[in-house]
Structure 1
């Protein structure tokens, strides 16, 4: 591929709801740019961007694909992202390096939850954006309804640049609002000028007036001319609109048919015309030698810096680190310094990815997106620079996973293979977390949602030939006491020769501090228990609190006081006193009104205002306690703060999405332990009988 300078690059992320047509739009663009000689189809499993076996099998995007498209004298780096919310990490990685966004909306399905989420992401990253309405070849597609819904949501800044022309219920052309002319596709796929249809003239006038008003607002001179009734030239209009689009005060709406490859020419041309090249965007890091701000700003003349926004680990094509060059010009065999790892990486060859195809390039200019192969220590969100001018860029904030499943190998002996395979998947997917919960003897996978975890399970089977079973995780309950008890235990054993003898009298009571398992004190007088056995008594308590006598859960908040006992000058030993203390603890807990404690999480549920009632009703069924409701940072959303038992969160993500049409999100963290309700405690005690028997052996 040719080398492109910064001003000839456009980095554009495709966003939108699942099945809105992003991948098929890429196909149409690539076909029009003569990258392919035929358009692939998602259903035929032959698209450029959905090349992974898992994506082909499921019929939707799972990963972000990079598709560079040469257009006119520019290169448009298209970042095709998944639409399903479980793969939001892929979207966040892509948005972090994009300079503009095309939000894809199906003319048939209309504005959906994913459309609104895409808009919110653009707001967060301050991205210029435009809408592209697909499926215009379908009879019941309504461009007008989509525009109306967008204007209701986002106001006057929504500006249709085109209006559809239909004949005999067929999508045959469009009206260009800027030029005020009709254009109709001919048999060669080119456009012929036609009269603006009568039914479009009223809408054209409204859209044109709105555009002219926006153009006038770009300068005092234009404003004066506008009020004097003067017309603007097409070049003046386009230049003013470029300013408006870049600053976000105008969001163009375009349309087309992916299947017929109609509307792509104007889309690609308008991406080049209206979207900014990287040098028109800001990019700052920290110059680590002085901790001062380093304005990289995609300036080719500054020292080399790059940001790793994504990692691909593929058994067939190998490991690639996808980077955006933030300053300078990176060339073959450059040595770059990773500040985060304190390690120098030799870049070797430079590549540009097009789906799963790899193409070598000589250099990457500031603002361009490319790939480095086989970096040794560099991971996603790391920064690369020169060692003489080390720079660190702000790491992308990726969504945290809150949906957990317990997993185990289906075939014995596969544990090591699973661990190694998961490590590779975790290198690619930063929204996946692998946790070894030794306390509950389980390993947990945390993902964004159920579908996310199912895909990981499938990847392990297809790619790494190992199978896992996903089940409900065990919840970490605790035990404590609510009253005091006074017990004694004598451990006495004769087996020929030296015997075993340990005798303790102990008091047990709530310590008032449930952050610690136990507090041990002694107030033995007269040497009834020699001092050298005190550590053994405490060791017995320390071992005993690991599995309580109620349901074999760890014990919290107990104060144990050794106040008396006896010993044998020959048979007493540390082992005997340890066993005596451990048994005394068990006896003491059972005599002091033992209770089961369940973990309580502090959770924030963010939902559109319209769904707060339904969500609150569901939370009440989950034994939660509402602590507050506040307006969210996202307009039209509410943050509901609740304390909810961890036991009630299994499957909550799927329920919340179902209730809110995919718009609701939640996050939580452990808050405290709280006494479990009787029915919950009784069920746990019954389920844990076998564990209790094991611990008493």
Structure 2
């Protein structure tokens, strides 16, 4: 690909709800730019964009895909993103790297859940955006109804810069409200430019007037001319429109049909004419050695941030970079500030789906891909070693759905470890960790589908089958009463025997206190050298539990008396004696099971508040408080047992139609209700009997 300076580059994130036609639109744009012989079809498995096996199988995007093309002397970096909520991490990372977002809507459906979510995130990072109402050829497609929805939901800055010619089956073209010309498809499916149909003249004039009013509202010079009744030229409107979009104050609406390839060329032209070029504002970072905050502009020395990584056993690692400043050339040595490592690059390229196109030089604002970098990961900053800067890492959503993971076949544990390491490099919304109490390997993701697809990837890419298991709950045991008990281990049948004898005073401690061991021996009842063995026997027995095999906590044990034999006593004998004593004493001291309780912070539209509270109450939850955070959005603070939260991410999504989010963190342990405790104890007994 030839050299493109910053002013000739556009980076556009294609975002929106699932099934709105984002991938089909991207395929259509690439076709119109001359990079495909025919338009790829998701349903037929021929999409240039959705090429992963899992995407073809499920007919949906599961990862972001870079698709670069050249149009009218510009380089356009389209990044198609998934619309399913389980892959929101891909969407957020891309939106942080892009310089504008094209929010795609399905004309019959209008605003949907992910439409709102991507708008909210774009607003949070002040990302310029435009709307594309797709599927205008579908039954029940209503352009004006969707535009009205957008205005009501997102404000008066929403304004059409095109209107459709016809609707549903009769949809066959669009009118450009700036150039005041049309592009439509004839009855023979031939695209042509033409005059505005007479029956649309009034509609077009009204829509153009509305566009001028909106643009003038955000531009003082135009507002003065408008109020004075002076003529405003197409060029003036275009310049003011581009400025309003760049400032994230005006949000243009376009329309078309990716299936019929209507509106695609107008969209390409609008992107180069109105969407902002990259790196118009300085980017803040810090000097690693001093922590001093500095800014980089496009003309400064080379620096970049890695916003995406893919891992494949055949292709290897691919790192996607957004160049913040300077120029990138082959054979440069890049310094990884996060890893404090330098690596020389041999080549870099752009991508169109899985197709690579070599590049010799790339300027600030461009997006490039580098293969086989050893130390680089998503979020890393790359620059020169002599002029270092560290950019804020990409923010990813926290994983909310956790399950156990294990190899289907014995002996594959090492393969799983390698595969999971590669997967977590690629997807930062996946976390893998081992529960220190249950010893279970756990994997966390955004949702059930997310984990299912990760398993499919592991099997395909790394040749190992893994299973998802329910998360084991790290219950604990404790006592609720005090007891003084004796433990004696005695084996004396001639020769060297075994003798250990202890009296232990056990008592409960306040919740969260852990374990405390003391000795109050007097008169040499037990020699001091045996006391550590007694403590060890107590600790090991408590760790193994006495009700259901869970660790016992919040217990104080006092070695208060005992006896010994000059010949037969030993450390092992006293360890055995203390184990006998603690088992007996704990059973007498009214033992109970404890369960982990988690704090929940749930963000939810207030409309669903009642359903959320009802669901929490049914899950043995406690409501700690409620508040309004923004108009229409509420916050619920609650506590619930971990055992009831295994599928809370799925439940919340179902109740809130995908609009709710939550965070959870461990709070404390408390007593498990008696009936549930009996069930768990019985289940543990059955497990032992089956062994």
Which of residues 530, 542, 547 in structure 2 aligns to 1:545? 542
Instruction: Tell me the TM-score normalised to structure 1 length.
Output: 0.96
Alpha-carbon displacement from aligned partner over 1:260-307 (angstroms, at most 9, x marks no partner)? 11111111111111111113134221122332222123x1x3111110
- The corresponding residue for 2:461 is 463
Counterpart-to-counterpart distance in 2, 1:190 and 1:607: 48
1:80 and 2:76 correspond: no
- The corresponding residue for 1:112 is 112
1:430 and 2:432 correspond: no
Alpha-carbon displacement from aligned partner over 1:5-24 (angstroms, at most 9, x marks no partner)? 11111111011011110110
1:675 and 2:671 correspond: yes
CA contact (8 A) 2:520 2:559 kept: yes
Counterpart-to-counterpart distance in 2, 1:78 and 1:181: 26
- The corresponding residue for 2:637 is 641
- The corresponding residue for 1:170 is 170
CA contact (8 A) 2:165 2:173 kept: yes
Alpha-carbon displacement from aligned partner over 1:651-672 (angstroms, at most 9, x marks no partner)? 2211211111111122201111
Listed as ranges, the matches of 1:233-632 within 5 Å are 233-297=233-297, 299=298, 301-494=299-492, 496-516=494-514, 518-632=515-629
- The corresponding residue for 1:660 is 656
Alpha-carbon displacement from aligned partner over 1:220-255 (angstroms, at most 9, x marks no partner)? 432222111112000001111111111111111110
Listed as ranges, the matches of 1:42-81 within 5 Å are 42-81=42-81
CA contact (8 A) 1:410 1:469 kept: yes
CA contact (8 A) 2:322 2:366 kept: yes
Q: State the shift of 1:68 in Å.
A: 0.7
Q: State the shift of 1:691 in Å.
A: 6.2
Counterpart-to-counterpart distance in 2, 1:215 and 1:591: 80
Gaps of 5+ in 1: none
Alpha-carbon displacement from aligned partner over 1:448-490 (angstroms, at most 9, x marks no partner)? 1000111111112222221112121110001111111110110
Measured on the aligned residues, the alpha-carbon RMSD in Å equals 1.8
Q: State the shift of 1:59 in Å.
A: 0.5
Counterpart-to-counterpart distance in 2, 1:576 and 1:555: 23
CA contact (8 A) 1:67 1:77 kept: yes
- The corresponding residue for 1:197 is 199
Moved >6 Å (runs of 4+): 691-695
Counterpart-to-counterpart distance in 1, 2:513 and 2:424: 32
Alpha-carbon displacement from aligned partner over 1:559-598 (angstroms, at most 9, x marks no partner)? 0001100001111111111111122111111111111110
Counterpart-to-counterpart distance in 1, 2:177 and 2:86: 38
Counterpart-to-counterpart distance in 1, 2:341 and 2:494: 65
Q: After superposing the two structures, state which structure 1 stretch, 97-106 or 685-694, moved more.
A: 685-694
Counterpart-to-counterpart distance in 2, 1:513 and 1:107: 57
- The corresponding residue for 2:207 is 207
In structure 1, the residue corresponding to 2:254 is in which secondary structure?
A: strand
In structure 1, the residue corresponding to 2:155 is in which secondary structure?
A: helix
Q: State the shift of 1:160 in Å.
A: 1.2
Q: State the shift of 1:693 in Å.
A: 7.6
Counterpart-to-counterpart distance in 1, 2:489 and 2:690: 20
Q: State the shift of 1:507 in Å.
A: 0.7
> How many residues align structurally?
689
Alpha-carbon displacement from aligned partner over 1:76-131 (angstroms, at most 9, x marks no partner)? 11110111111111112111101100000001222110110110111122100001
In structure 2, the CA distance between the partners of 1:125 and 1:499, relative to structure 1 (3 Å rule), is: same
- The corresponding residue for 1:130 is 130
CA contact (8 A) 1:551 1:692 kept: no
CA contact (8 A) 1:351 1:360 kept: yes
Counterpart-to-counterpart distance in 2, 1:557 and 1:196: 84
Q: State the shift of 1:377 in Å.
A: 1.1
In structure 2, the CA distance between the partners of 1:179 and 1:304, relative to structure 1 (3 Å rule), is: closer
In structure 2, the residue corresponding to 1:688 is in which secondary structure?
A: helix
Q: State the shift of 1:435 in Å.
A: 1.5
In structure 2, the residue corresponding to 1:556 is in which secondary structure?
A: coil
Q: State the shift of 1:447 in Å.
A: 1.0
In structure 2, the residue corresponding to 1:492 is in which secondary structure?
A: strand
- The corresponding residue for 2:2 is 2
Counterpart-to-counterpart distance in 2, 1:439 and 1:171: 62
CA contact (8 A) 1:552 1:691 kept: no
In structure 2, the residue corresponding to 1:376 is in which secondary structure?
A: coil
Alpha-carbon displacement from aligned partner over 1:322-341 (angstroms, at most 9, x marks no partner)? 11111110111111111211
CA contact (8 A) 1:128 1:246 kept: yes
- The corresponding residue for 2:144 is 144
CA contact (8 A) 2:184 2:191 kept: no
CA contact (8 A) 1:29 1:268 kept: yes
In structure 2, the residue corresponding to 1:486 is in which secondary structure?
A: strand
In structure 2, the residue corresponding to 1:245 is in which secondary structure?
A: helix
In structure 2, the CA distance between the partners of 1:331 and 1:623, relative to structure 1 (3 Å rule), is: same
Counterpart-to-counterpart distance in 2, 1:333 and 1:221: 49
In structure 2, the residue corresponding to 1:42 is in which secondary structure?
A: coil
